[in-house]
Amino acid sequence: MKYQANSALRLRLEGWRARLLLMLLLGGFLTLVGRAVFLQGMHYDFLQHKGDERYSRVIESTAYRGVVRDRNGDPLAISLPAESIWASRDDADLSGGQIDALARLLRMERSEIARRLNDGRGNFVYLKRQVDPQVAQAVGKLHIAGLFAEKGFRRSYPKGEMMAHLLGFTDAEDRGQEGIELSYQSTLAGVAGARRVIKDRAGAVIEDVENIREPRPGRDVVLSVDSRIQHLAWRELRAAIARHKAKAGAVMVIDPRTGEVLALANYPDYDPNQREHLSGAQLRNRCVTDTYEPGSTLKPFTIAAALEAHKITPGTIIQTGAGVMSVGTAVIHDTHPAGAITVAQVIQKSSNVGAARIALSLPAETMWNTFTDVGFGQVPKIGFPGEAGGRVRPYHGWRPIEQATMAYGHGISVSLAQLARAYTVFIGDGSLKPLSLLRVDNPVPGRPVLSAQTASEVRDMLELVVKPEGTAPLAQVRGFRVAGKTGTAHKQDHGRYTNRYISSFVGFAPASNPRLLIAVMIDEPSVGGYYGGVVAAPVFSTLMGESLQLLGIAPDDPASESFTLPLVPASAAEET
């Protein structure tokens, strides 16, 4: 019975079934071995990467952005330590009181914090970028789960509004967005560092594994600008805008020997340290991005073209009659009838009729060549984003009235930077200087445009403009010989000229050996006149006088130190 019971319990399989089961077990075992070999050997990198994603991270460390300095080493844009507050949405759990405390520290609305935590994709979200380290430390003391601080830098601009349009600013990622910050982004930015760390599930770093790459700081940029002269330009421009209740304005100061831009000021301006509520009008660098009809400031180039073509001399008599000239169906006017005057007096008195008669004595191509040779119609390439090239129409399509009005600055558009640069041909014996926003240690050669004789003759004519009989006696500077030209141009609206004006003056001193060239443009003055000799020339006078004194330039006309300026000279008027 015992044997029978044991026999009944014994499991017996047929031979082929036993072999099949053994083969299946061996096959499964080999599959597991093969899979293990594949994963551990051939697919190791993939698995390691997936494993690292759970706890290992590569964190970039922000590189220190280079400092922007003026020509004397004064810092204009620097980077300060800052931190960004971010949250892990899955782990952040804020009570009502914590949200209120966080909102007060970050100066944010409670609803905005709640929106950022609850809306959007992904687990990572910034709550506030570039906060002071003290604020980040205070946030840390709240001990809010899922909230972290990331170290970095924020850009600071010690000169504020004064340098805003020149320097521009950076964004939250410390990338240049405007001005020098954008133009020299690759130089200033540097290269971010990288390190591998281990984080816990809440995102906190618990171990530094390795340093992959050291951060490489950006290089400094030394500008041509002198912050002392920049302050004077900014101050005088703001004062003129307020005095004449103007819409806008711009000023440039240039060293004509090197082409260095010593000052570049615009209004309206803004504080680059506070950019929450900026408008397009505030951001525009009107010196280089805005174009306008230059008015009578273009007359010296018309005269230069005729001198080069040997059509006139400074003493040639031009008949302006009663100050009225018909060209086809159009009529050109002078503000004051001058009768028979010399070419030099055409510049001094800013005669539109005289300039038009001289222009019509020239082939259109000759005028066009002179205008384009001095840079009109071309981007000046001073290294600033958004530079405008202005407009000079091809001479093939000029009608006589267009050539006549272009002689005194109508039908052509320029930027203030173009105009200032063009005037360097009268200073450097006929050579056009390239402008530079970076410091130039040695004088640079210009491109020959006019003969030295023509440049000298026009320079002498420009000195007459600031005499009592000229249009800009208010541009005089005590102790110095001054040369320059006024401009008053009607503004266009939908192709029609209006009773709104742009007043300008471009000049240089000391005239015997020019060290500074200043261009002033005031847009839509509405109080106290609108002529360039009344609105723009006084800005030039004060700015030039104080700048020359600041640089220690010796006077070249001591006899003029006791002159007295008229309050509103009747001659300081020209119509264009």
Average pLDDT over residues 263-270: 94
Average pLDDT over residues 539-549: 97
Task: Give the pTM.
Answer: 0.84
- Domain spanning 59-222: CATH 3.90.1310.10: yes
Average pLDDT over residues 135-139: 87
CA–CA dist 371, 496 (Å, integer): 24
The top-scoring range by mean pLDDT among 118-122, 150-154, 413-417 is 413-417
Average pLDDT over residues 202-215: 65
Task: Check residue 9 and give its pLDDT.
Answer: 54
N-terminal to C-terminal alpha carbon distance within the chain: 135
What is the 8-class DSSP label of residue 385? T
pLDDT band for position 117 (cuts 50, 70, 90): confident
- The more confident residue out of 429 and 94 is 429
CATH H superfamily, domain 227-562: DD-peptidase/beta-lactamase superfamily (3.40.710.10)
Cα separation values, 68 from 156, 159, 385, Å: 11, 12, 17
CA–CA dist 167, 28 (Å, integer): 71
Average pLDDT over residues 494-504: 88
Of 47-51, 217-221, 408-412, the range with the lowest mean pLDDT is 47-51
Cα separation values, 234 from 98, 249, 276, Å: 46, 10, 23
Chain segment 448-483, per-residue pLDDT in tens: 999 999 999 999 999 999 999 999 999 999 999 999
Task: Check residue 118 and give its pLDDT.
Answer: 80
pLDDT above 70 as % of the chain? 88
Question: Domain-by-domain residue ranges, the chain?
Answer: 59-222, 227-562
CA–CA dist 404, 399 (Å, integer): 9
Q: Has residue 300 got a pLDDT over 90?
A: yes
What is the 8-class DSSP label of residue 176? B
Q: Check 183, 227, 296, 351 and give the catalytic one.
A: 296
pLDDT above 90 as % of the chain? 58
- The more confident residue out of 188 and 145 is 188
Considering the chain, what is the average pLDDT of its residues?
Answer: 87
CA–CA dist 357, 375 (Å, integer): 24
Whether 296 is catalytic: yes
Of 34-43, 75-84, 427-436, 491-500, the range with the lowest mean pLDDT is 34-43
Q: Has residue 13 got a pLDDT over 60?
A: no
Chain segment 210-251, per-residue pLDDT in tens: 667 777 899 999 999 999 999 999 999 999 999 999 999 999
